[in-house]
Amino acid sequence: MTVRYEELLLLSPELGMDECQEIVGNLSAVIEREGGTVVKVDDWGVKDTAYPVRKFTRGRYIRMEMDLPGRAVAELERNVRITEGIFKFITVRLAETAEEA
């Protein structure tokens, strides 16, 4: 059974668009390998952070929405942790809507 998750990534502002797309592509491959599907990817662009992160005050925010088996979340997060250029991340299980229930 798959569940809808949201992953918010904070990437280094020094990364180019090609490098950001490569990171998203690699994470999408992990999701698909683990039996999930990527529903949506939103690039929010480079924005100011609330506090310095690794001496940077700006970062590129990327939001991924995916359907993923619960057992695969740990593997996805493991890959996020070892990927160069990702400063911070958070994975959240999205609530079911009334239509889905």
Which residue ranges form the domains of the chain, and what is each CATH number?
2-93 (3.30.70.60)
For residue 98, what is the DSSP state? T
Instruction: Please name the residue that has the structure tokens 């992160």.
Output: 53
Number of other residues whose CB lies within 10 A of the CB of residue 60: 22
Give whole-number Cα distances, 9 to 82, 84, 93, 96, 100, in Å.
Answer: 13, 12, 15, 22, 27
Tally the C-alpha atoms within 13 A of residue 26's C-alpha that lie toward its C-beta.
17
Q: pLDDT tens digits, residue range 27-77?
A: 999 999 999 999 999 999 999 999 999 999 999 999 999 999 989 999 999
CB atoms within 10 A of CB 31: 23
pTM score, whole prediction: 0.88
The CA R_g of the chain, rounded to the nearest whole Å, is: 14
Written as six digits, the tokens of 27 are 């994470």
Average pLDDT of the chain to the nearest whole number: 93
